[in-house]
Amino acid sequence: MKLRAAIATAAAVPLALGLAACGNDKPEANGDKPSSTSETPATPTAVATNTAPAKPAPVTRLNRVTFVPAMTTAIAKQKSWHTTGTMTVNGTPAMKMDGYQTTDPVAMSMEMSGAALQGKTGQVIVVKGTAYVSMPGLTPAGKFVKVKSGLDSQLSELVEGGDPTKIYKSFGSSMVNVKYVGVQTVQGQKLDRYDVTVNTAKALAAQGKKVPDGVPSTLTYSMFMDKAHLIRRMTFEMGPVAMVMDMTSYNKPVDISAPPASKIVSQ
């Protein structure tokens, strides 16, 4: 496997993770429960008469205008998170991911495994603008290739993709629609689902990138948020490829460091 091919595989991972993190929008409280009412007896000995329950307060949902400002506020509070994900191709599992990201400093550590890697495990670590890539066919098991950003356009996307702030800034110019779908239960939690559609070309242009061949004109992300307005799951489909990612452990302490010199090999 050539270095470029290995990076191409790895680059898709943090880019997707960055997009997932962008969706930490901030809807208002759902207000689904009606307010309680009291029962007032006509006389001390009369049977109580139930009054009609008051209507619940109108629920304010995010829309195309309010989505980006709310998202910007929420993502600024998230300094770290744990992501697990599964990518399928034509319904068949192709890759599993498990890793952590931080925003200050920008860093990422992600393990990948599955059929896309011949059943083996790869890892990408991004620290201080430098990526360390360990991939079957590229490096010996447990060893990393060190590549600085700017040497390869795909690697540059790999490094920048670990910073969600670079992605969410593109939503303002690329957003086509935001639709509140409803409350759905995911892994035992009742979550608010929003379907967010973006113009792919505009989103990439805002990041200074070109549209790769085969990418659709629009892409819709389903984002599942808890009542604290944090993304707990994000899904999307692009042709035969589908991705499901779960985000947990927000703002928990995370230490991401570069591999020791003894594990770094030359290209």
Domain boundaries, the chain: 3-25+60-253
What is the model's pLDDT at position 225? 81
pLDDT at 25: 35
Q: In CATH, what class is 3-25+60-253? A: mainly beta
Q: Closest by alpha carbon to 143, among 260, 10, 255, 256?
A: 260
pLDDT of residue 14: 42
Adjacent-strand bridge partners of 232: none
Cα separation of 118 and 110, whole Å?
17
Q: Give the pLDDT of residue 230.
A: 78
- The distance in angstroms from the start CA to the end CA of the chain is 12
**CA 124 to CA 132: how far, in whole Å?**
6
Q: Where are the beta strands (DSSP E) in the chain?
A: 80-89, 92-103, 106-113, 121-127, 130-134, 144-148, 175-186, 189-199, 218-225, 231-238, 241-248, 264-265
pLDDT of residue 34: 35
Please state, in angstroms and rounded to a whole number, the distance separating the CA atoms of residues 175 and 64: 7
List of the chain residues with pLDDT < 70 = 1-60, 148-170, 207-208, 267
Give the model's pLDDT for residue 11: 44
Residues 6+ apart with CB under 8 A from 9: 112, 116, 117, 122, 135
pLDDT of residue 167: 58
Kindly state the tokens that stand for 216.
């659709």
